[in-house]
Structure 1
Amino acid sequence: MDTTLVALSLWGAAILMSQPVPGVTLLQSPAAVTLGAMLLSLWATGAYQVLARDIHLHRFIRMGGGMVGAVLVATALAYFWDPTQMLPRGVLALHTLMATGGVLGSRALARLAWEHRHTPAPPTPHPAPMTLYDVVDREPPVINTQELRNALADRTVLVTGAGGSIGSELMAQLAHLHPFRLVGVDMSEYNLYRLRHTLDAPTLPENALDLRLADVRTPETMHRIFRQTTPDVVIHTAAYKHVPMMERHPAEAFGNNTQATMQLLRLCEEHQTGQFLFVSTDKAVQPTSVLGATKRLAEWYVRAAQSPVSRSIVRFGNVFGSRGSVVPRFERCLAAGKPIPVTHPDMERYFMSATEACSLIMHTLLLDSHPVYLFRMGEPVRIQDLAEQLVRRWYPNQPTDAMIEHTGRRPGEKMTEALAMPGEATSDTAHPSILGVEGAMPYSRAELDMHIQHVEEQCRHPDASASQLRRLIMNTPSAPPSVPTRS
């Protein structure tokens, strides 16, 4: 029961039963009957059964009508009870109006007070999304689109991971270059659906866009796609990319990041594909994570292949603003009023936008001077500085320390990344934003085949734990550690 209503009802009753004329005493029979009838009407109309926040217009009308009706009924009863004790009609009407108005008005005020207390403050307008150039000081790279258009005019280009952060941007840029055919492969139905609508604009000739729902880890499916589309260029972007998750699922990381790359390269060799471009990551350099180690194995395999296929690797850092990356995650926290989780105040990363990365990936199709290419990404960005800048954008009057919490490094994470492996030398290329990388291959294809076969066997082994598989994947081919085998 709402205590406010009880107090106000009694106050209204006291007004009704006040002594307006000489000789009429408090709680005499007509007044008592009238009081009882009004309180009964309040109960019957639900006034005592709901809180002030639940009193709406229809309840106010019912309450008011019930009180007026109760007074009329009570007046008739009182008249038959003792006509000599009746209040004058004017006084009775005035008291009825005061009691009804007092109770209903007080309930309305109680509801207004509740609404005032519980109505949230209008949301602060969200700042414009942070862009890469808010945190790095460099100019966007420029590529020769006409030269690329000429090179791709009579070629079929196949992109794996076509619906991902890099793959979808790559598909969009390639569509504007009008290749003979553009084939996109992705295992996510939703990614392909979204990509189809993104590329609805008339950027490609009719029947030049071919989207395929397929898993690159399934050789039979990919063989059928190669046979049906006969790609001239394969750009392999499909990969698992979240470091902590891959620490818990090393077999999946190996299957998607290493085995799928090997199978694609073999398909390129079998179907006489002219060019194979593997999109790698800076996490493959001196890896401390399963993700990095699986990408390093894939890089080694691509380089060690003995085939007529033209092979190259591009290696770059984090994609700024991609799905699951730090900036969207930080902005979601700030939008919800929660502090940003920064793993370590000294952690830093290289960043590129998807637009930058994809334009340079395409330009490497025109280069054949080096087996590996790096992109100039400027200085690495300190994640703490990035978080502080975001806090200042969202909460300019709030101390940045209050909106940042340090959670500790996650499994497999490095403090900082490098772009070149030990023993690799970099040099300029024909494009100012692309560096070529040279370095001796540490393993032959035969050594890699033996090591990878051993890892494959253990990934299929039912008794191999995630920690055992992690050690095996992280280890170099020279001395693979033993993993328990089935007796």
Structure 2
Amino acid sequence: MWRNKRKVSLLIIDTLLLNIAYFFSFYLRFDYNIPYQYFIVYEKSFYLVTLISIVTFIFFKQYNKIWRYANLRDIMELMVVTTISSGMSSLVLFLLEIHLPRSIYPLYWFLSIILITSSRILYGNYMNYNNNSLKNVAHKKVLIIGAGSAGRMLIRELKNHPEIGMKPVAILDDDKSKLYRSIDGIPVMGKIDDIQDIINEKEINEVIFAIPSAPKSLLKKVIDKCSEIHIKVKTLPGIYELVDGTVSVNNIRDVDINDLLRREPVKVNLDEMSSYIKDKKVMITGGGGSIGSELCRQVARFSPSHLIILDIYENNMYDVQQELKRKYPNLNMSCIIASIRDEKRISNIFKKYKPDIVFHAAAHKHVPLMEDNPQEAIKNNVYGTLNLVKYADLHNVKKFVMISTDKAVNPTSIMGATKRICEMIIQSFDKKSNTEFVAVRFGNVLGSNGSVIPLFKKQIAEGGPVTVTHEEVKRYFMTIPEAVQLVIQAGALAKGGEIFVLDMGEPVKIIDLARDLIRLSGFEPDVDIPIIITGLRPGEKLFEELLLSEDKYASTKHDKIFIEKPVFDDYDGLMLLLEKYRTTIDDMNVDQVKAFIKRLVPEYNPSHVKTIEEIAATEDILGDATNDV
């Protein structure tokens, strides 16, 4: 409704101004005294000239523009259209043999351009002034980091959208050629190292980092400097997203913990990844989880002939199903509710769907919970994987990629030990199968369900305290997209039997992540939000490792992906022990399960329980299985 009113208003204004221009072209031509015979000519022709001009404006869509956002190009285009309308009017008058003094034509052209363009400029300024006078909007003083394309676009958007409540007052940039200049009236006041001085001088309320292509180290530098003086930092999406309309200025967001990785994100070859997935039947287990759902999204992009999603939890499955239906309406997709522990069900699924590729993401992964429920960890992680591997082999699956964890290396937890057994299953089966079985090992995934970051965010939202188990606990971190791209890349690199490991940079102290996240939320650690050390949980290590042996790994053509060399191939011994105790796991107590695991994984070292020898000496249920493997 408002848009139509605006168009009608502009049309009325143009009609009036064009008549004024036409009249004054006569008035000036005859030195302020129009002869009667020419006044009659004016009366006969003014409506025709006006109509032709208005029709020309409509034809060139001059009433579809939002003139409060007009730039020089829009004004130049309006001048060209006004020139065309004057030319068309002159041509029609000539064809109708309505003769005017020749000087009338350039006068009318000049006056109409002046009046029409001036009206647009005044209209745009009036609308901006009227919009900027919005009441009840508290404007924060904003410092922009970056005087490039993204910074310029951001400043214009903030000025055009005062309802956002942000007022740009200064810019910082390390490019010397941009120093002490201005963008849309906002001065470039110095380099990024000057940030604290500028914040104090200009009484800045918030900082927006507007260099999407900048390395993480530069963003971290800005965050560190701002956190010292309790100023919040936000980031701008990539400039290509702004240009193509994917996001707008409203997508300026708080700095995410993902931005604080102490390394650059890992990039992979998308073309190489897609080549082996396209037109193939792909099964993803645990497809409703953090990693599994992202696998579904990534795989769906590469046009599989059939995407088979398997999960035991229907709520997550439903969310993934609806999302993929919206994004990929032509995707051939089957969503299966099933447990990987149910061997008969798994057998029937493989028989029915006959997948070409399997990504195995289903697992119990919570370390403390699995310490208290080791039987469930064995049944789900170990025997569930064994079921999948067995029927993948039987039905000639081409590639089978299992997701493992750094906790599988020299494990101290039940969860980590079960994942190490899964790696052993993968490698031992690969020696006898036509299927290419591989595993992918990586560290903690930022923001995944049950990870430390969502816990910290929840604790901060509740006012604290934030709990950290030990001041020296360190972990490797990666983002969910990185983890998934690594999994898919492993499938592209797979020849069979490999354990792929990502170079994840340096491990990060959990307490440092907690402090950063508290600062990014606008609080001061140990002042506004306390941090409490709770002590290591059962099965938890101070440090995680990615390799069983630091000197036993091979490089790949991807400079951030490595292959661990040690290969387990005792298929017969492993299967003997696993099948022997498949049906008796529920009858074992916690110590018996740990003794069982120790026989499978000698490097398993649960330091918080009694010795394995003490356990084995008292276990009737394990009998003489010590020599089975």
TM > 0.5 fold call: yes
Match of 1:245 in 2: 369
Q: Distance in 1 between matches of 2:601 and 2:267?
A: 40
Q: Distance in 1 between matches of 2:483 and 2:381?
A: 19
Match of 1:453 among 579, 583, 605: 579
Match of 1:366 in 2: 492
SS at match of 2:582: helix
From the superposition, tell whether residues 444 and 400 of structure 1 become closer, same or farther in structure 2 (CA, over 3 Å): farther
Q: Distance in 2 between matches of 1:164 and 1:447?
A: 33
Q: Distance in 1 between matches of 2:356 and 2:469?
A: 43
Q: Distance in 1 between matches of 2:309 and 2:402?
A: 15
SS at match of 1:138: coil
SS at match of 2:600: coil
Q: How does 1:203-352 map to 2 (within 5 A)?
A: 203=328, 205-206=330-331, 208-305=332-429, 306-352=432-478
Please tell me whether the aligned partners of residues 423 and 440 of structure 1 are also in contact (alpha carbons under 8 angstroms): no
Q: Which amino acid aligns with 1:247?
A: E
Q: Distance in 1 between matches of 2:259 and 2:381?
A: 32
Q: Which amino acid aligns with 1:139?
A: E
Match of 2:276 in 1: 151
1:307, distance to aligned residue in structure 2 (A): 1.2
1:185, distance to aligned residue in structure 2 (A): 0.2
1:414, distance to aligned residue in structure 2 (A): 0.5
1:400, distance to aligned residue in structure 2 (A): 5.1
Q: Distance in 1 between matches of 2:378 and 2:366?
A: 13
Match of 2:564 among 426, 437, 441: 437
Q: Which amino acid aligns with 2:287?
A: A
The count of aligned residue pairs is: 360
Q: Which has the larger radius of gyration?
A: 1
Match of 1:166 in 2: 291
Higher relative contact order (CA 8 A, sep 6+): 1
1:144, distance to aligned residue in structure 2 (A): 2.4
From the superposition, tell whether residues 317 and 477 of structure 1 become closer, same or farther in structure 2 (CA, over 3 Å): closer
SS at match of 1:365: helix
SS at match of 2:427: helix
From the superposition, tell whether residues 204 and 420 of structure 1 become closer, same or farther in structure 2 (CA, over 3 Å): farther
From the superposition, tell whether residues 401 and 158 of structure 1 become closer, same or farther in structure 2 (CA, over 3 Å): same
Q: Distance in 2 between matches of 1:248 and 1:150?
A: 43
Match of 2:237 in 1: none
> Do residues 196 (structure 1) and 196 (structure 2) align?
no
From the superposition, tell whether residues 400 and 476 of structure 1 become closer, same or farther in structure 2 (CA, over 3 Å): farther
1:452, distance to aligned residue in structure 2 (A): 1.9
From the superposition, tell whether residues 455 and 426 of structure 1 become closer, same or farther in structure 2 (CA, over 3 Å): same
1:361, distance to aligned residue in structure 2 (A): 0.9
1:197, distance to aligned residue in structure 2 (A): 1.7
Please tell me whether the aligned partners of residues 455 and 473 of structure 1 are also in contact (alpha carbons under 8 angstroms): no
Q: Distance in 2 between matches of 1:397 and 1:361?
A: 38
Q: Distance in 2 between matches of 1:130 and 1:238?
A: 31
Q: How does 1:62-141 map to 2 (within 5 A)?
A: 131-141=256-266
Match of 1:80 in 2: none
From the superposition, tell whether residues 424 and 185 of structure 1 become closer, same or farther in structure 2 (CA, over 3 Å): farther
CA deviations 1:353-399 (Å, max 9, x no partner) are: 11111012111111135611001111111001111112222343564
Q: Distance in 1 between matches of 2:259 and 2:557?
A: 28
1:217, distance to aligned residue in structure 2 (A): 0.9
TM-score (norm 1): 0.69
Match of 2:620 in 1: 484
Please tell me whether the aligned partners of residues 391 and 400 of structure 1 are also in contact (alpha carbons under 8 angstroms): no
Q: Distance in 1 between matches of 2:524 and 2:589?
A: 49
Q: Distance in 1 between matches of 2:598 and 2:476?
A: 23
Please tell me whether the aligned partners of residues 374 and 593 of structure 2 are also in contact (alpha carbons under 8 angstroms): yes
SS at match of 2:336: strand
Q: Distance in 2 between matches of 1:459 and 1:418?
A: 29
Match of 1:407 among 531, 534, 539: 534
Gaps of 5+ in 1: 1-124
TM-score (norm 2): 0.54
Please tell me whether the aligned partners of residues 155 and 179 of structure 1 are also in contact (alpha carbons under 8 angstroms): yes
SS at match of 1:436: strand
Q: Distance in 2 between matches of 1:249 and 1:175?
A: 35
Please tell me whether the aligned partners of residues 178 and 203 of structure 1 are also in contact (alpha carbons under 8 angstroms): no
Q: Distance in 1 between matches of 2:550 and 2:505?
A: 22
CA deviations 1:108-151 (Å, max 9, x no partner) are: xxxxxxxxxxxxxxxxx998566354332322222222333332
From the superposition, tell whether residues 311 and 400 of structure 1 become closer, same or farther in structure 2 (CA, over 3 Å): farther
Please tell me whether the aligned partners of residues 423 and 439 of structure 1 are also in contact (alpha carbons under 8 angstroms): no
CA deviations 1:23-55 (Å, max 9, x no partner) are: xxxxxxxxxxxxxxxxxxxxxxxxxxxxxxxxx
1:237, distance to aligned residue in structure 2 (A): 0.7
SS at match of 2:493: coil
Q: Which amino acid aligns with 1:238?
A: A
Q: Which amino acid aligns with 1:184?
A: I
From the superposition, tell whether residues 398 and 426 of structure 1 become closer, same or farther in structure 2 (CA, over 3 Å): closer
1:221, distance to aligned residue in structure 2 (A): 1.2
Deviates most, 396-405 or 230-239 = 396-405
Q: Distance in 2 between matches of 1:165 and 1:181?
A: 21
Match of 1:56 in 2: none
Task: Among all aligned residue pairs of Structure 1 and Structure 2, give the percentage whose two residues are the same amino acid.
Answer: 34
Match of 2:591 among 467, 482, 486: 467
From the superposition, tell whether residues 126 and 323 of structure 1 become closer, same or farther in structure 2 (CA, over 3 Å): farther
